[in-house]
Structure 1
Protein backbone atom coordinates (compact mmCIF):
# COMPACT_ATOMS: atom_id res chain seq x y z
CA UNK A 1 0.00 0.00 0.00
CA UNK A 2 1.70 3.16 -1.22
CA UNK A 3 -0.98 5.75 -2.03
CA UNK A 4 -4.10 6.79 -0.06
CA UNK A 5 -6.90 8.97 -1.47
CA UNK A 6 -8.92 11.18 0.89
CA UNK A 7 -11.94 12.87 -0.74
CA UNK A 8 -13.00 15.92 1.26
CA UNK A 9 -15.86 18.41 1.42
CA UNK A 10 -14.09 20.15 4.34
CA UNK A 11 -16.62 18.75 6.83
CA UNK A 12 -15.75 17.39 10.28
CA UNK A 13 -16.35 13.87 8.98
CA UNK A 14 -13.84 14.29 6.16
CA UNK A 15 -11.39 15.81 8.65
CA UNK A 16 -11.83 12.68 10.78
CA UNK A 17 -11.07 10.56 7.70
CA UNK A 18 -7.94 12.59 6.97
CA UNK A 19 -6.66 12.03 10.51
CA UNK A 20 -7.15 8.26 10.10
CA UNK A 21 -5.41 8.34 6.71
CA UNK A 22 -2.43 10.09 8.29
CA UNK A 23 -2.24 7.39 10.99
CA UNK A 24 -2.20 4.65 8.34
CA UNK A 25 0.27 6.54 6.13
CA UNK A 26 2.72 6.88 9.03
CA UNK A 27 2.62 3.11 9.53
CA UNK A 28 3.66 2.36 5.96
CA UNK A 29 5.14 5.65 4.72
CA UNK A 30 2.37 6.08 2.15
CA UNK A 31 1.55 9.16 0.10
CA UNK A 32 -1.80 10.92 0.66
CA UNK A 33 -3.83 12.60 -2.09
CA UNK A 34 -6.52 15.05 -0.92
CA UNK A 35 -9.39 15.48 -3.40
CA UNK A 36 -12.17 18.05 -3.57
CA UNK A 37 -14.65 18.10 -6.45
CA UNK A 38 -17.00 20.87 -7.54
CA UNK A 39 -20.22 19.65 -9.12
CA UNK A 40 -21.52 22.31 -11.50
CA UNK A 41 -25.16 22.43 -12.73
CA UNK A 42 -25.93 20.46 -15.88
CA UNK A 43 -26.41 23.66 -17.90
CA UNK A 44 -23.05 25.03 -16.82
CA UNK A 45 -20.71 26.23 -19.57
CA UNK A 46 -17.70 24.80 -17.72
CA UNK A 47 -16.12 21.59 -18.89
CA UNK A 48 -15.21 18.80 -16.50
CA UNK A 49 -11.64 20.10 -16.41
CA UNK A 50 -12.74 23.54 -15.24
CA UNK A 51 -12.33 25.24 -18.63
CA UNK A 52 -14.86 27.93 -19.49
CA UNK A 53 -16.60 27.66 -22.87
CA UNK A 54 -18.16 31.13 -22.74
CA UNK A 55 -17.36 34.60 -21.44
CA UNK A 56 -19.25 36.47 -18.74
CA UNK A 57 -20.03 36.42 -15.06
CA UNK A 58 -19.89 32.63 -14.88
CA UNK A 59 -16.16 32.72 -15.53
CA UNK A 60 -15.64 35.29 -12.78
CA UNK A 61 -17.73 33.17 -10.41
CA UNK A 62 -15.73 30.05 -11.19
CA UNK A 63 -12.37 31.73 -10.68
CA UNK A 64 -13.55 33.12 -7.34
CA UNK A 65 -14.87 29.69 -6.35
CA UNK A 66 -11.59 27.97 -7.22
CA UNK A 67 -9.62 30.51 -5.20
CA UNK A 68 -11.82 29.83 -2.16
CA UNK A 69 -11.51 26.08 -2.63
CA UNK A 70 -7.72 26.24 -2.85
CA UNK A 71 -7.61 28.31 0.34
CA UNK A 72 -9.92 25.86 2.12
CA UNK A 73 -7.88 22.90 0.83
CA UNK A 74 -4.65 24.38 2.19
CA UNK A 75 -6.31 24.98 5.55
CA UNK A 76 -7.66 21.42 5.54
CA UNK A 77 -4.26 19.97 4.64
CA UNK A 78 -2.67 21.71 7.62
CA UNK A 79 -5.39 20.70 10.12
CA UNK A 80 -3.04 17.97 11.42
CA UNK A 81 0.77 17.70 11.39
CA UNK A 82 2.07 15.62 8.50
CA UNK A 83 5.82 16.05 8.78
CA UNK A 84 7.70 13.34 6.92
CA UNK A 85 4.70 12.45 4.74
CA UNK A 86 4.00 13.46 1.15
CA UNK A 87 0.53 15.08 0.96
CA UNK A 88 -0.71 16.43 -2.38
CA UNK A 89 -3.93 18.20 -3.34
CA UNK A 90 -6.32 17.80 -6.28
CA UNK A 91 -9.32 19.97 -7.19
CA UNK A 92 -11.61 19.08 -10.08
CA UNK A 93 -14.96 20.07 -11.60
CA UNK A 94 -16.74 16.72 -11.81
CA UNK A 95 -18.89 14.22 -9.98
CA UNK A 96 -17.06 12.88 -6.96
CA UNK A 97 -17.40 9.14 -7.53
CA UNK A 98 -16.40 9.51 -11.20
CA UNK A 99 -13.28 11.49 -10.33
CA UNK A 100 -12.41 9.04 -7.55
CA UNK A 101 -12.59 6.11 -9.95
CA UNK A 102 -10.43 7.97 -12.48
CA UNK A 103 -7.77 8.76 -9.88
CA UNK A 104 -7.74 5.16 -8.65
CA UNK A 105 -6.82 4.05 -12.16
CA UNK A 106 -4.54 6.95 -13.13
CA UNK A 107 -2.52 7.17 -9.91
CA UNK A 108 -2.68 3.59 -8.65
CA UNK A 109 -4.60 4.43 -5.47
CA UNK A 110 -4.41 1.54 -2.97
CA UNK A 111 -6.92 2.77 -0.38
CA UNK A 112 -9.67 5.39 -0.14
CA UNK A 113 -10.36 6.87 3.30
CA UNK A 114 -13.60 8.82 3.32
CA UNK A 115 -15.80 10.59 5.86
CA UNK A 116 -19.47 9.70 6.09
CA UNK A 117 -22.46 11.34 7.71
CA UNK A 118 -24.60 8.26 7.18
CA UNK A 119 -28.21 8.29 6.01
CA UNK A 120 -31.54 6.85 7.04
CA UNK A 121 -35.16 6.58 6.03
CA UNK A 122 -36.36 8.12 2.75
CA UNK A 123 -33.07 9.93 2.17
CA UNK A 124 -31.20 6.62 2.28
CA UNK A 125 -33.60 4.98 -0.20
CA UNK A 126 -33.95 7.79 -2.74
CA UNK A 127 -30.72 9.76 -2.55
CA UNK A 128 -27.98 7.83 -0.81
CA UNK A 129 -24.70 9.66 -0.38
CA UNK A 130 -21.41 10.28 -2.13
CA UNK A 131 -19.80 7.83 0.27
CA UNK A 132 -22.28 5.10 -0.69
CA UNK A 133 -21.57 5.69 -4.39
CA UNK A 134 -17.84 5.42 -3.81
CA UNK A 135 -18.28 2.26 -1.71
CA UNK A 136 -20.43 0.80 -4.48
CA UNK A 137 -18.19 1.64 -7.43
CA UNK A 138 -14.57 1.94 -6.24
CA UNK A 139 -12.18 -0.75 -7.42
CA UNK A 140 -9.90 -0.48 -4.38
CA UNK A 141 -10.70 -0.84 -0.66
CA UNK A 142 -12.71 2.01 0.90
CA UNK A 143 -12.43 2.89 4.61
CA UNK A 144 -15.35 5.01 5.84
CA UNK A 145 -15.03 7.08 9.00
CA UNK A 146 -17.69 9.03 10.92
CA UNK A 147 -16.49 9.91 14.41
CA UNK A 148 -13.03 11.14 15.26
CA UNK A 149 -10.48 8.37 15.79
CA UNK A 150 -7.80 10.44 17.49
CA UNK A 151 -5.37 7.56 17.76
CA UNK A 152 -6.44 5.10 15.05
CA UNK A 153 -4.90 1.85 16.23
CA UNK A 154 -7.50 -0.92 15.70
CA UNK A 155 -6.96 -3.91 18.00
CA UNK A 156 -10.26 -5.77 17.49
CA UNK A 157 -11.27 -6.20 13.84
CA UNK A 158 -14.46 -7.88 12.64
CA UNK A 159 -14.54 -9.63 9.25
CA UNK A 160 -18.18 -10.32 8.37
CA UNK A 161 -18.99 -12.56 5.41
CA UNK A 162 -20.72 -15.72 4.20
CA UNK A 163 -17.15 -17.05 3.76
CA UNK A 164 -17.86 -18.72 0.45
CA UNK A 165 -15.38 -18.88 -2.39
CA UNK A 166 -15.65 -15.19 -3.39
CA UNK A 167 -14.27 -13.90 -0.07
CA UNK A 168 -10.85 -15.41 -0.82
CA UNK A 169 -10.09 -12.51 -3.14
CA UNK A 170 -10.34 -10.05 -0.25
CA UNK A 171 -8.81 -12.04 2.60
CA UNK A 172 -5.19 -11.19 1.80
CA UNK A 173 -6.00 -7.47 1.96
CA UNK A 174 -7.83 -7.94 5.26
CA UNK A 175 -4.92 -9.94 6.61
CA UNK A 176 -2.44 -7.23 5.60
CA UNK A 177 -4.36 -4.58 7.52
CA UNK A 178 -4.59 -6.87 10.53
CA UNK A 179 -0.82 -7.40 10.49
CA UNK A 180 -0.17 -3.68 10.02
CA UNK A 181 -1.80 -2.91 13.37
CA UNK A 182 -1.12 -6.18 15.18
CA UNK A 183 -4.86 -6.64 15.66
CA UNK A 184 -7.02 -9.65 16.43
CA UNK A 185 -9.27 -10.77 13.56
CA UNK A 186 -12.79 -11.94 14.45
CA UNK A 187 -14.36 -13.93 11.60
CA UNK A 188 -18.15 -13.82 12.02
CA UNK A 189 -20.96 -15.48 10.11
CA UNK A 190 -24.45 -14.21 10.97
CA UNK A 191 -26.98 -17.04 10.98
CA UNK A 192 -30.50 -15.78 10.30
CA UNK A 193 -33.90 -17.55 10.36
CA UNK A 194 -34.40 -16.91 6.63
CA UNK A 195 -31.01 -18.39 5.65
CA UNK A 196 -30.19 -20.75 8.50
CA UNK A 197 -27.20 -23.08 8.14
CA UNK A 198 -25.85 -25.88 10.29
CA UNK A 199 -23.46 -24.39 12.85
CA UNK A 200 -20.99 -27.27 12.60
CA UNK A 201 -20.70 -26.86 8.83
CA UNK A 202 -20.25 -23.11 9.21
CA UNK A 203 -17.56 -23.60 11.84
CA UNK A 204 -15.64 -25.91 9.53
CA UNK A 205 -15.94 -23.45 6.63
CA UNK A 206 -14.51 -20.58 8.67
CA UNK A 207 -11.71 -22.67 10.16
CA UNK A 208 -10.78 -23.95 6.69
CA UNK A 209 -10.62 -20.41 5.30
CA UNK A 210 -8.42 -19.30 8.22
CA UNK A 211 -6.06 -22.22 7.59
CA UNK A 212 -5.99 -21.57 3.83
CA UNK A 213 -4.80 -18.01 4.48
CA UNK A 214 -2.53 -18.92 7.37
CA UNK A 215 -4.32 -16.51 9.70
CA UNK A 216 -2.83 -15.83 13.11
CA UNK A 217 -4.47 -14.26 16.16
CA UNK A 218 -8.08 -14.80 15.12
CA UNK A 219 -11.41 -16.12 16.39
CA UNK A 220 -14.22 -17.97 14.60
CA UNK A 221 -17.79 -16.96 15.45
CA UNK A 222 -21.31 -18.04 14.48
CA UNK A 223 -23.72 -15.30 15.59
CA UNK A 224 -27.52 -15.69 15.52
CA UNK A 225 -29.69 -12.68 14.74
CA UNK A 226 -32.78 -11.60 12.83
CA UNK A 227 -30.90 -10.01 9.91
CA UNK A 228 -27.31 -10.00 8.69
CA UNK A 229 -27.00 -6.28 9.31
CA UNK A 230 -28.30 -6.52 12.88
CA UNK A 231 -26.01 -9.45 13.59
CA UNK A 232 -22.89 -7.66 12.34
CA UNK A 233 -23.70 -4.50 14.29
CA UNK A 234 -24.56 -6.42 17.48
CA UNK A 235 -21.49 -8.63 17.29
CA UNK A 236 -19.21 -5.64 16.67
CA UNK A 237 -20.76 -3.86 19.65
CA UNK A 238 -20.37 -6.92 21.90
CA UNK A 239 -16.64 -7.26 21.28
CA UNK A 240 -16.04 -3.48 21.21
CA UNK A 241 -14.72 -3.66 17.65
CA UNK A 242 -12.44 -0.90 16.40
CA UNK A 243 -13.00 -1.75 12.74
CA UNK A 244 -15.46 -3.75 10.60
CA UNK A 245 -14.22 -5.23 7.32
CA UNK A 246 -16.55 -6.54 4.62
CA UNK A 247 -16.46 -7.59 0.98
CA UNK A 248 -19.17 -6.29 -1.33
CA UNK A 249 -20.41 -7.20 -4.80
CA UNK A 250 -20.90 -3.51 -5.56
CA UNK A 251 -24.21 -3.95 -7.38
CA UNK A 252 -25.61 -0.91 -9.19
CA UNK A 253 -28.85 0.03 -10.91
CA UNK A 254 -31.94 -2.14 -10.59
CA UNK A 255 -30.11 -5.07 -8.98
CA UNK A 256 -28.92 -2.71 -6.23
CA UNK A 257 -32.44 -1.36 -5.61
CA UNK A 258 -33.90 -4.86 -5.45
CA UNK A 259 -31.23 -6.58 -3.38
CA UNK A 260 -29.72 -3.69 -1.45
CA UNK A 261 -26.26 -3.89 0.00
CA UNK A 262 -25.44 -5.05 3.52
CA UNK A 263 -22.08 -3.29 3.33
CA UNK A 264 -23.70 0.05 2.49
CA UNK A 265 -26.26 -0.42 5.26
CA UNK A 266 -23.48 -1.07 7.76
CA UNK A 267 -21.62 2.05 6.58
CA UNK A 268 -24.79 4.09 7.10
CA UNK A 269 -25.77 2.73 10.50
CA UNK A 270 -22.59 2.31 12.54
CA UNK A 271 -20.14 4.80 14.01
CA UNK A 272 -17.37 2.18 13.85
CA UNK A 273 -15.00 2.63 10.87
CA UNK A 274 -15.85 0.20 8.03
CA UNK A 275 -13.50 -1.13 5.35
CA UNK A 276 -15.19 -2.46 2.22
CA UNK A 277 -13.61 -4.28 -0.71
CA UNK A 278 -15.14 -5.27 -4.06
CA UNK A 279 -15.34 -8.95 -4.92
CA UNK A 280 -16.01 -8.40 -8.61
Structure 2
Protein backbone atom coordinates (compact mmCIF):
# COMPACT_ATOMS: atom_id res chain seq x y z
CA UNK A 1 0.00 0.00 0.00
CA UNK A 2 1.27 3.47 -0.85
CA UNK A 3 2.42 5.44 2.19
CA UNK A 4 0.07 8.21 3.24
CA UNK A 5 0.32 10.43 6.29
CA UNK A 6 -0.97 13.53 8.01
CA UNK A 7 2.32 14.68 9.55
CA UNK A 8 2.06 18.35 8.51
CA UNK A 9 -1.32 20.06 8.77
CA UNK A 10 -1.99 23.66 7.66
CA UNK A 11 -4.91 25.51 9.28
CA UNK A 12 -5.84 28.98 7.93
CA UNK A 13 -7.47 31.27 10.53
CA UNK A 14 -8.96 34.75 10.18
CA UNK A 15 -8.70 35.63 13.92
CA UNK A 16 -12.41 36.47 14.00
CA UNK A 17 -13.32 33.15 15.61
CA UNK A 18 -14.20 31.16 12.49
CA UNK A 19 -11.02 29.11 12.68
CA UNK A 20 -11.82 27.42 15.98
CA UNK A 21 -13.55 24.35 14.55
CA UNK A 22 -10.79 23.78 11.98
CA UNK A 23 -8.15 24.01 14.73
CA UNK A 24 -10.06 21.60 16.98
CA UNK A 25 -10.27 19.13 14.09
CA UNK A 26 -6.52 19.47 13.54
CA UNK A 27 -5.85 18.79 17.24
CA UNK A 28 -8.01 15.66 16.98
CA UNK A 29 -5.82 14.38 14.14
CA UNK A 30 -2.70 15.31 16.10
CA UNK A 31 -3.77 13.05 18.94
CA UNK A 32 -4.48 10.17 16.56
CA UNK A 33 -1.64 10.63 14.06
CA UNK A 34 0.97 12.77 15.82
CA UNK A 35 0.52 15.62 13.35
CA UNK A 36 2.33 18.95 13.53
CA UNK A 37 0.00 21.92 13.09
CA UNK A 38 0.74 25.27 11.45
CA UNK A 39 -1.76 28.05 12.11
CA UNK A 40 -1.50 30.57 9.30
CA UNK A 41 -3.08 34.02 9.11
CA UNK A 42 -2.89 36.16 5.97
CA UNK A 43 -3.22 39.93 6.34
CA UNK A 44 -3.71 42.29 3.36
CA UNK A 45 -0.67 44.27 2.24
CA UNK A 46 -0.45 48.05 2.46
CA UNK A 47 -1.07 49.58 -0.96
CA UNK A 48 -0.66 52.82 -2.92
CA UNK A 49 2.51 53.75 -1.07
CA UNK A 50 6.14 54.20 -2.07
CA UNK A 51 8.17 51.00 -1.96
CA UNK A 52 10.23 51.79 1.17
CA UNK A 53 7.24 53.03 3.16
CA UNK A 54 5.13 50.07 2.02
CA UNK A 55 7.78 47.54 3.11
CA UNK A 56 8.05 49.10 6.56
CA UNK A 57 4.28 49.29 6.98
CA UNK A 58 3.89 45.65 5.91
CA UNK A 59 6.37 44.63 8.60
CA UNK A 60 4.30 46.48 11.20
CA UNK A 61 1.09 44.89 9.93
CA UNK A 62 2.72 41.46 10.10
CA UNK A 63 3.95 42.06 13.66
CA UNK A 64 0.53 43.22 14.83
CA UNK A 65 -1.15 40.24 13.17
CA UNK A 66 1.31 37.89 14.89
CA UNK A 67 0.39 39.36 18.28
CA UNK A 68 -3.27 38.72 17.52
CA UNK A 69 -2.52 35.21 16.29
CA UNK A 70 -0.62 34.44 19.51
CA UNK A 71 -3.59 35.67 21.55
CA UNK A 72 -5.94 33.55 19.44
CA UNK A 73 -3.80 30.43 19.91
CA UNK A 74 -3.39 30.97 23.66
CA UNK A 75 -7.12 31.35 24.00
CA UNK A 76 -7.68 28.03 22.22
CA UNK A 77 -5.06 26.20 24.30
CA UNK A 78 -5.92 27.78 27.68
CA UNK A 79 -2.91 30.01 27.91
CA UNK A 80 -0.06 27.83 26.65
CA UNK A 81 0.65 27.06 23.00
CA UNK A 82 1.81 23.41 22.56
CA UNK A 83 5.14 22.59 20.94
CA UNK A 84 3.37 20.84 18.07
CA UNK A 85 1.75 24.13 16.98
CA UNK A 86 3.60 26.68 14.82
CA UNK A 87 2.30 30.19 14.18
CA UNK A 88 2.75 31.97 10.87
CA UNK A 89 1.65 35.31 9.42
CA UNK A 90 1.91 36.16 5.73
CA UNK A 91 1.24 39.40 3.85
CA UNK A 92 -0.88 39.11 0.72
CA UNK A 93 -4.22 37.92 -0.62
CA UNK A 94 -5.85 35.28 1.57
CA UNK A 95 -6.71 32.49 -0.87
CA UNK A 96 -3.75 32.70 -3.31
CA UNK A 97 -1.25 32.96 -0.43
CA UNK A 98 -2.56 29.87 1.36
CA UNK A 99 -2.64 27.89 -1.89
CA UNK A 100 0.97 28.88 -2.59
CA UNK A 101 2.15 27.90 0.91
CA UNK A 102 0.28 24.58 0.84
CA UNK A 103 1.61 23.60 -2.58
CA UNK A 104 5.21 24.79 -2.24
CA UNK A 105 5.93 23.54 1.29
CA UNK A 106 4.62 19.98 1.02
CA UNK A 107 1.83 20.04 3.58
CA UNK A 108 -0.07 16.77 3.94
CA UNK A 109 -3.46 18.31 4.74
CA UNK A 110 -5.19 21.69 4.76
CA UNK A 111 -8.17 22.11 7.10
CA UNK A 112 -10.59 24.95 6.33
CA UNK A 113 -13.70 26.25 8.02
CA UNK A 114 -16.39 26.32 5.34
CA UNK A 115 -18.84 29.20 5.38
CA UNK A 116 -22.39 29.33 4.15
CA UNK A 117 -22.77 29.18 0.37
CA UNK A 118 -22.94 32.62 -1.23
CA UNK A 119 -26.29 32.91 -2.97
CA UNK A 120 -27.47 35.21 -5.73
CA UNK A 121 -25.67 36.85 -8.62
CA UNK A 122 -22.44 37.58 -6.73
CA UNK A 123 -22.17 33.94 -5.68
CA UNK A 124 -22.63 32.79 -9.25
CA UNK A 125 -20.03 35.14 -10.67
CA UNK A 126 -17.35 34.68 -8.02
CA UNK A 127 -15.90 31.32 -7.08
CA UNK A 128 -16.30 30.53 -3.39
CA UNK A 129 -13.03 30.40 -1.40
CA UNK A 130 -13.59 26.76 -0.44
CA UNK A 131 -14.04 25.82 -4.10
CA UNK A 132 -10.84 27.67 -5.02
CA UNK A 133 -8.91 25.85 -2.31
CA UNK A 134 -10.18 22.47 -3.49
CA UNK A 135 -9.47 23.17 -7.13
CA UNK A 136 -5.92 24.49 -6.72
CA UNK A 137 -4.42 22.86 -3.62
CA UNK A 138 -2.59 19.63 -4.45
CA UNK A 139 -2.76 17.97 -1.04
CA UNK A 140 -5.99 16.74 0.61
CA UNK A 141 -8.35 19.41 1.94
CA UNK A 142 -10.68 18.81 4.88
CA UNK A 143 -13.61 21.21 5.22
CA UNK A 144 -15.52 21.47 8.48
CA UNK A 145 -18.57 23.49 9.32
CA UNK A 146 -20.17 23.03 12.74
CA UNK A 147 -19.63 19.33 13.28
CA UNK A 148 -15.97 18.47 13.59
CA UNK A 149 -15.34 14.93 14.82
CA UNK A 150 -15.21 15.70 18.55
CA UNK A 151 -16.96 12.41 19.36
CA UNK A 152 -14.44 10.41 17.39
CA UNK A 153 -14.80 8.71 14.01
CA UNK A 154 -16.83 5.52 13.84
CA UNK A 155 -17.83 5.43 10.19
CA UNK A 156 -16.29 7.03 7.09
CA UNK A 157 -18.52 7.36 4.02
CA UNK A 158 -16.74 6.94 0.67
CA UNK A 159 -18.65 7.74 -2.55
CA UNK A 160 -17.45 5.50 -5.39
CA UNK A 161 -17.15 7.03 -8.86
CA UNK A 162 -16.52 4.62 -11.75
CA UNK A 163 -14.99 7.45 -13.82
CA UNK A 164 -12.09 8.04 -11.44
CA UNK A 165 -8.98 6.14 -10.43
CA UNK A 166 -9.23 4.30 -7.12
CA UNK A 167 -5.72 3.78 -5.81
CA UNK A 168 -5.68 6.93 -3.66
CA UNK A 169 -9.19 6.47 -2.28
CA UNK A 170 -8.32 2.87 -1.36
CA UNK A 171 -5.03 3.81 0.32
CA UNK A 172 -6.58 6.64 2.31
CA UNK A 173 -9.59 4.54 3.33
CA UNK A 174 -7.26 1.88 4.76
CA UNK A 175 -4.95 4.44 6.39
CA UNK A 176 -7.75 6.38 8.11
CA UNK A 177 -9.65 3.27 9.16
CA UNK A 178 -6.57 1.84 10.87
CA UNK A 179 -5.50 5.10 12.51
CA UNK A 180 -8.98 6.02 13.70
CA UNK A 181 -10.24 2.47 14.36
CA UNK A 182 -13.30 3.03 12.23
CA UNK A 183 -15.41 1.29 9.61
CA UNK A 184 -15.79 2.19 5.93
CA UNK A 185 -19.05 2.48 4.01
CA UNK A 186 -18.74 2.58 0.21
CA UNK A 187 -21.71 4.24 -1.49
CA UNK A 188 -22.68 4.53 -5.14
CA UNK A 189 -25.80 5.72 -6.94
CA UNK A 190 -27.05 4.09 -10.15
CA UNK A 191 -28.56 6.60 -12.55
CA UNK A 192 -29.66 4.12 -15.22
CA UNK A 193 -31.88 1.05 -15.10
CA UNK A 194 -29.56 -1.94 -14.91
CA UNK A 195 -29.24 -5.18 -13.00
CA UNK A 196 -27.39 -4.24 -9.81
CA UNK A 197 -24.79 -7.00 -9.91
CA UNK A 198 -24.03 -6.29 -13.58
CA UNK A 199 -23.32 -2.60 -13.00
CA UNK A 200 -19.73 -1.39 -13.08
CA UNK A 201 -20.43 0.70 -9.97
CA UNK A 202 -21.36 -2.41 -8.00
CA UNK A 203 -18.40 -4.46 -9.22
CA UNK A 204 -15.93 -1.66 -8.58
CA UNK A 205 -17.34 -1.12 -5.07
CA UNK A 206 -17.10 -4.83 -4.31
CA UNK A 207 -13.48 -4.95 -5.44
CA UNK A 208 -12.67 -2.01 -3.18
CA UNK A 209 -14.60 -3.65 -0.35
CA UNK A 210 -12.59 -6.85 -0.76
CA UNK A 211 -9.28 -4.97 -0.67
CA UNK A 212 -10.31 -3.06 2.45
CA UNK A 213 -11.58 -6.18 4.22
CA UNK A 214 -8.29 -7.94 3.41
CA UNK A 215 -6.65 -5.34 5.68
CA UNK A 216 -8.85 -6.44 8.59
CA UNK A 217 -11.20 -3.43 8.32
CA UNK A 218 -14.98 -3.70 8.46
CA UNK A 219 -16.39 -2.45 5.17
CA UNK A 220 -19.81 -2.56 3.53
CA UNK A 221 -21.26 -1.46 0.21
CA UNK A 222 -24.45 0.59 -0.24
CA UNK A 223 -25.86 0.91 -3.77
CA UNK A 224 -28.88 3.11 -4.47
CA UNK A 225 -31.01 3.17 -7.61
CA UNK A 226 -31.89 6.73 -8.48
CA UNK A 227 -32.87 7.43 -12.06
CA UNK A 228 -35.16 10.41 -11.51
CA UNK A 229 -33.59 12.59 -8.83
CA UNK A 230 -30.35 14.39 -8.12
CA UNK A 231 -27.55 11.85 -7.60
CA UNK A 232 -25.62 14.21 -5.33
CA UNK A 233 -28.70 14.91 -3.23
CA UNK A 234 -29.12 11.16 -2.66
CA UNK A 235 -25.62 10.98 -1.19
CA UNK A 236 -26.13 14.15 0.88
CA UNK A 237 -29.32 12.75 2.36
CA UNK A 238 -27.53 9.52 3.23
CA UNK A 239 -24.78 11.53 4.96
CA UNK A 240 -27.41 13.47 6.87
CA UNK A 241 -29.46 10.54 8.10
CA UNK A 242 -26.85 7.81 8.53
CA UNK A 243 -24.14 7.67 11.18
CA UNK A 244 -21.22 8.75 9.02
CA UNK A 245 -18.76 10.99 10.86
CA UNK A 246 -17.16 12.38 7.75
CA UNK A 247 -16.98 11.89 3.99
CA UNK A 248 -13.86 10.84 2.09
CA UNK A 249 -14.18 12.11 -1.48
CA UNK A 250 -12.08 11.40 -4.55
CA UNK A 251 -9.88 14.14 -5.98
CA UNK A 252 -11.46 14.76 -9.38
CA UNK A 253 -9.12 14.69 -12.36
CA UNK A 254 -11.62 16.25 -14.73
CA UNK A 255 -11.97 19.19 -12.34
CA UNK A 256 -8.79 20.40 -14.06
CA UNK A 257 -10.70 21.08 -17.26
CA UNK A 258 -13.16 23.54 -15.74
CA UNK A 259 -16.86 23.08 -15.08
CA UNK A 260 -17.75 19.40 -14.92
CA UNK A 261 -19.89 16.88 -13.09
CA UNK A 262 -17.00 16.07 -10.77
CA UNK A 263 -16.41 19.73 -9.97
CA UNK A 264 -20.09 20.21 -9.17
CA UNK A 265 -20.11 17.06 -7.05
CA UNK A 266 -17.11 18.15 -4.96
CA UNK A 267 -18.49 21.68 -4.58
CA UNK A 268 -21.90 20.40 -3.44
CA UNK A 269 -20.29 18.07 -0.91
CA UNK A 270 -18.15 20.88 0.48
CA UNK A 271 -21.01 23.32 0.94
CA UNK A 272 -24.01 21.12 1.68
CA UNK A 273 -22.67 18.22 3.74
CA UNK A 274 -23.35 18.66 7.45
CA UNK A 275 -20.36 16.41 8.20
CA UNK A 276 -16.68 17.14 7.50
CA UNK A 277 -15.55 16.36 3.94
CA UNK A 278 -12.00 15.20 3.21
CA UNK A 279 -11.23 15.73 -0.48
CA UNK A 280 -8.12 13.98 -1.71
CA UNK A 281 -5.58 15.96 -3.68
CA UNK A 282 -5.15 16.15 -7.43
CA UNK A 283 -1.63 16.37 -8.83
CA UNK A 284 -1.91 18.05 -12.23
CA UNK A 285 1.54 16.93 -13.41
CA UNK A 286 0.97 13.31 -12.40
CA UNK A 287 -2.48 13.29 -13.98
CA UNK A 288 -1.36 14.60 -17.35
CA UNK A 289 1.58 12.19 -17.29
CA UNK A 290 -0.85 9.33 -16.70
CA UNK A 291 -2.90 10.46 -19.71
CA UNK A 292 0.17 10.01 -21.90
CA UNK A 293 0.80 6.53 -20.52
CA UNK A 294 -2.68 5.03 -20.79
CA UNK A 295 -2.51 1.40 -21.90
CA UNK A 296 -5.46 -0.03 -23.81
CA UNK A 297 -5.74 -3.84 -23.52
CA UNK A 298 -5.56 -5.59 -26.91
CA UNK A 299 -7.82 -8.36 -25.74
CA UNK A 300 -10.16 -8.94 -22.84
CA UNK A 301 -8.50 -11.76 -20.87
CA UNK A 302 -10.80 -11.96 -17.89
CA UNK A 303 -13.55 -9.52 -16.90
CA UNK A 304 -12.53 -9.34 -13.25
CA UNK A 305 -8.83 -8.96 -14.12
CA UNK A 306 -9.61 -6.11 -16.50
CA UNK A 307 -11.90 -4.45 -13.94
CA UNK A 308 -9.15 -4.77 -11.30
CA UNK A 309 -6.72 -3.13 -13.74
CA UNK A 310 -9.18 -0.28 -14.29
CA UNK A 311 -9.78 0.18 -10.56
CA UNK A 312 -6.17 -0.02 -9.42
CA UNK A 313 -3.97 1.25 -12.25
CA UNK A 314 -5.67 4.15 -14.01
Give the TM bin, normalised by the shorter chain. Answer: 0.7 to 0.9
Count residues in correspondence.
269
TM value normalised by structure 2: 0.75
Max radius of gyration: which structure? 2
TM value normalised by structure 1: 0.84
1:155-204 CA distance string (max 9 Å, x none): 12110121455122332023211221111111000223xx5554212322
Distance (whole Å) between structure 2 residues aligned to residue 98 and residue 203 of structure 1? 40
Taking only aligned residues, the RMSD between alpha carbons, in angstroms, comes to 2.8
Instruction: Structure 1: give runs of 5+ residues left out of the alignment.
Output: 46-51
Q: Is the 8 A contact 1:120 1:268 kept in 2?
A: no
1:156 aligns with 2:155: yes
Partner of 1:191: 190
Deviates more, 1:147-156 or 1:176-185: 147-156
Distance 1:146 1:11, change over 3 A: farther
Distance 1:2 1:217, change over 3 A: same
Instruction: Structure 2: give runs of 5+ residues left out of the alignment.
Output: 1-5, 288-314
Distance 1:33 1:196, change over 3 A: farther
SS at match of 2:220: strand
1:67 aligns with 2:72: no
Displacement, 1:264?
1.3
Partner of 1:111: 109
Distance 1:106 1:241, change over 3 A: same
User: How does 1:1-280 map onto structure 2 within 5 Å?
Assistant: 1-40=6-45, 44=48, 53-55=51-53, 62-81=58-77, 85-122=83-120, 123-149=122-148, 151-164=150-163, 166-192=165-191, 195=192, 197-200=194-197, 201=199, 202-213=201-212, 214=214, 216-225=217-226, 226-249=229-252, 255-256=258-259, 260-279=263-282, 280=287
SS at match of 1:24: helix
Deviates more, 1:218-227 or 1:109-118: 218-227
Higher relative contact order (CA 8 A, sep 6+): 1
